[in-house]
A = this chain, B = another copy of it.
Amino acid sequence: MRPILVLASAEAVGGSEQKVLPVAAAFEMIHTYSLIHDDLPAMDNDSLRRGKPTSHTVFGEALAILAGDALLTYAFQLLAERSKDSLLTAEQQVRAIFIISRAAGVNGMIGGQVVDLESEGRFVDNDILEYIHRHKTGALIRAAAEIGVLVGGGSEEQFKSTSRYGENIGLAFQIIDDILDVEESSKILGKSAGKDNRTGKATYPQVYGIAKARKEAARLTHEALQSIEPFGERGWPLSALARRILERRT
């Protein structure tokens, strides 16, 4: 989803696909590294991911840790690559690296993951729940939406539009994720279902109930769609993606 988001956001400002492909790949690498590390025995201890055995169950813990480290590192190497045929300016590259590293780091994804881990089995209020979701999944999704505009050559105003869009679909994505964890089987999801409840994880369905959580996801999607209205026709991949996130069953 994150690479598609980068491409869709670039398309919204008329940016070329070729220009953003390495950036899209970098997002997938960072997302995949985070899944490999999240699945480790010391973290979520999960054996199923994308319908396959997790990295550490196949290659062992040491190599899974190193594979995650390598993916994260390679994402930045790819983002910093330059040649005489480079399609991006050095300024664009530096700004992209800054946005992505901030979204993936202590004040983004990793911060959310730490608070999530520390909250397991404890009472979690709305504020903490929102902090976790905005950071753990939201930050990287928002950055993916922003980067497409930045690298695609959009304006500051367009950057803000996709930033709002990304923030809203990021939260909607996580709410739906939590609902599916309750309602669907592991086989359909390709990862362990019913896990949040077993580990005492803070989720939207748990705090608000399923019906209210689904309503909130719909409201967020509506807000996301509104914020990309200025893109007109060119924004259709972004709006299709937002709808898909709301309606997905896996």
Instruction: Tell me how far the C-beta of A53 lies from the nearest C-beta in chain B, rounded to whole angstroms.
Output: 17
A106-B74 CB under 8 A given contacts A80-B97, A97-B97, A98-B80: yes
- Asked if B77 and A102 make an inter-chain contact with CB atoms under 8 angstroms apart, the answer reads yes
Chain A 60-85, CB within 8 Å of chain B: the 1/0 string?
11110110111011101101111000
- Asked if B94 and A65 make an inter-chain contact with CB atoms under 8 angstroms apart, the answer reads no
- Asked if A72 and B74 make an inter-chain contact with CB atoms under 8 angstroms apart, the answer reads no
A42 contacts the other chain (CB 8 A) = yes
> How distant is the Cα of A33 from the Cα of B79 in the complex, in angstroms?
21
> How distant is the Cα of A101 from the Cα of B26 in the complex, in angstroms?
13
Q: Which of A93-108 contact B (CB under 8 A)?
A: 93-95, 97-98, 101-102, 104-106
A91 contacts the other chain (CB 8 A) = yes
Chain A 27-44, CB within 8 Å of chain B: the 1/0 string?
000000100010010110
- Asked if B42 and A61 make an inter-chain contact with CB atoms under 8 angstroms apart, the answer reads yes
- Asked if B82 and A94 make an inter-chain contact with CB atoms under 8 angstroms apart, the answer reads yes
- Asked if A66 and B110 make an inter-chain contact with CB atoms under 8 angstroms apart, the answer reads yes
A188 contacts the other chain (CB 8 A) = no
Q: Which B residues are CB-close (under 8 A) to A105?
A: 70, 73-74, 77
- Asked if B110 and A70 make an inter-chain contact with CB atoms under 8 angstroms apart, the answer reads yes
Query: B60, B89, B106: which contacts A70 (Cβ < 8 A)?
Result: B106
* Residue in B closest to A90 when the chains form the complex, CB atoms: B90
- Of the candidates A33, A77, A91, the one having the most CB atoms from chain B within 10 angstroms of its own CB is A77
A69-B101 CB under 8 A given contacts A63-B114, A80-B94, A106-B74: no
Instruction: Tell me how far the C-beta of A106 lies from the nearest C-beta in chain B, rounded to whole angstroms.
Output: 5
Q: Which B residues are CB-close (under 8 A) to A95?
A: 80, 82
Instruction: Tell me how far the C-beta of A110 lies from the nearest C-beta in chain B, rounded to whole angstroms.
Output: 5
The list of the 6 closest CB pairs from A to B, nearest first, reads: A42-B61, A77-B101, A80-B98, A73-B105, A80-B97, A90-B90
Residues of A with Cβ closer than 8 Å to B? 33, 37, 40, 42-43, 60-63, 65-66, 68-70, 72-74, 76-77, 79-82, 89-91, 93-95, 97-98, 101-102, 104-106, 110, 113-114, 117
